[in-house]
Amino acid sequence: MDAASGARAAGLAAGGALILFAAVACGGGGGKAAPAASPMGGMKMPSSSAAQAPPAAGPNEVSIGGFAFGPAKLTVKRGTTVTWTNRDEDPHTVTASATGGPRSPALVAGASFRFTFTKPGTFTYICTIHPFMHGTVVVTP
Ligand SMILES: [Cu+2]
């Protein structure tokens, strides 16, 4: 009796710890999206939608998700075109504080905005709808 109830208690404790761990693991992602599905593993692609490639964050791309720009700071060479894509349900903007930087209209869910940086410098920007959202693009010569 004693041993059995002790084992049960231990099992419950372990289960509780597992659940807690899972909750922490899920919540600790910081809102970062999981990488796109791996092309490995023989995944089946519907042949009719070949044009709809999943949007992957490339080297010159900024993902807007979870009310944050990711990466928050991007460094590119002069002449580079940077693409922002809104992956949130809410609209966002890319609005530079200084002239010569990107100024987008409101981007609805799934919309993208492209801007080519022709001058070196550090361009900080915000979302005018959510001014707590900050991003920076550093343009090197
Ligand atoms: Cu916003």
Between the CA of 90 and the centroid of ligand 1 the distance, in Å, is: 7
Between the CA of 95 and the centroid of ligand 1 the distance, in Å, is: 10
H or E stretch covering 61: strand 61-64
pLDDT of residue 56: 52
Domain ranges in the chain are 60-140
DSSP, residue by residue, 91-126: -B--EESSTTS-B--PBPTT-EEEEE--S-EEEEEE
Q: Give the CATH H-level superfamily of domain 60-140.
A: Cupredoxins -  blue copper proteins (2.60.40.420)
Between the CA of 127 and the centroid of ligand 1 the distance, in Å, is: 5
Between the CA of 133 and the centroid of ligand 1 the distance, in Å, is: 7
Tens-level pLDDT at each residue, the chain (141 residues): 444 444 444 444 444 333 333 333 333 334 444 444 444 444 444 444 344 444 456 789 999 999 999 999 999 999 999 999 999 999 999 999 888 899 999 999 999 999 999 999 999 999 999 999 999 999 999
